[in-house]
Amino acid sequence: GKTVERIAAGEVVERPASVVKELVENSLDADATRVSVAVESGGKDGIRVSDDGIGMTESEVRKAVQEHTTSKIRDIEDLEAGVTTLGFRGEALHAIGAVSRLTVETRPRGGGRGTKLRVEGGEVTTVEPTGCPEGTTIEVADLFFNVPARRKYLKQDGTEFAHINDLVTSYALANPDVAVSLEHDGRETFATTGQGDLQSAVLSVYGRDVAEGMVDVVRATDSDGDDETDDRREGPLDGVSGLVSHPETNRASREYVTTYVNGRYVRSATVRDAVVEAYGNQLAPDRYPFAVLDLSLPGDTVDVNVHPRKMEVRFADAEGVAEQVRTAVEDALLREGL
């Protein structure tokens, strides 16, 4: 019954940032060109994610909040390879609804009626027609109101918001063609235009002082070897690309290294440390670089599902990866005479 459900929900929903992650991924999956995130009190009191995606019909939204329902089983191979955005398919909305007060307002793209559906602690309490724009808005209020042990374990607003900010930032940088915005307690943290490239997304997220000096890291593999400037060393990576900050543009009190592996956002201390190392003694004490890096490597040399919720990654040859990242960043800085 309900207890089991709430325990299971804890696997999916660890903190406000995990709710944000699932909702933003759903919006991106729904072909949105705009995703707006607004949270209250570090997400503990409220989380709202709104998109202009394909939306849902009434019967689709009813289904969406049920257990193990997804419209996205692409193919069996995908599932077997674990190449899914979620560790468990079709569970997120259901799990979130089990531990909060959830409201979905949605209207299918290209016509059809709007529907408002409410779930409280796992029970669907309201389904009614509503007037709303095309797309979907999901509000999650009172996260863990019925799981006091979890609620108590949540950190201060600022800490919970920092997790959310990291996450939304990473989606904004990975999707420069989507207008992504973030608001905390009514104040806008950042908003990207959705019209640009990585450079303009970095500008929107981190500001001009960081964006201006960014150095392009291009170390894409050219397997036919016709690129004379390709002095790439042997290693596990097929390529490294992205942007790293100018050694002098470091207002950061910690590293802002956003890493994607084969297009997927991950957290990697290996990559982060390698980037910092590449700057050597060019970094003043307590000043850290900004970087956005996309690594590509053969799927069988990396495990991105070690812990899907925590976005951890394991490289078969972590030392090799570190070496290649460090070299690529060093070379990029050298090319700019830095």
> In the complex, which residues of this chain contact ligand ADP (CB under 6 A)?
22, 26-27, 30, 51, 53-56, 64, 69-72, 86, 89-94, 136
Our CB check for ligand ADP shows the closer of 22 and 160 to be: 22
Residue 20's alpha-carbon distances to 48, 161, 243, 335, in angstroms, are 8, 11, 26, 39
Residue nearer to Mg ion on the CB measure, 26 or 241: 26
User: Cα separations (Å) of 48 from 1, 35, 40, 284, 300?
Assistant: 28, 10, 9, 39, 37
Tell the smallest beta-carbon distance from residue 9 to ligand ADP (Å): 12
Residues binding Mg ion (CB under 5 A): 26, 92
Which among ligand ADP, Mg ion, none contacts residue 71 (Cβ within 5 to 8 A by kind)?
Answer: ligand ADP
Return d(Cα 164, Cα 143) in angstroms, integer: 14
Output the six-digit token pair for 213: 């000096």
User: How far apart are CB 266 and Mg ion at their closest, in Å?
Assistant: 18
Q: Which of 26, 204 has the CB closer to Mg ion? A: 26
Residue tagged 């705009």 (tokens): 34
Nearest-approach distance from CB 198 to ligand ADP, in angstroms: 24
Give me the least distance between CB of 145 and ligand ADP, in Å please.
Answer: 20
Helix (H) or strand (E) holding 19, with range, is: helix 16-29
Nearer to ligand ADP by Cβ, of 95 and 154: the residue is: 95
30 is in the binding site of which of Mg ion, ligand ADP, none (Cβ under 5 to 8 A by kind)? ligand ADP
- DSSP classification of residue 312: B
Select from Mg ion, ligand ADP, none the partner in contact with residue 34, using the beta carbon and a kind-dependent cut-off of 5 to 8 Å.
none
Smallest distance from the beta carbon of 116 to ligand ADP, in angstroms?
Answer: 14
Between residues 92 and 274, which has the closer beta carbon with respect to Mg ion?
A: 92
CA angle centred on 98, ends 43 and 26, rounded to 5°: 60
Handedness of CA 243, 247, 249, 255 (dihedral sign): positive
Quick check: helix, strand or coil at residue 224?
coil
236: its two tokens: 């596990």
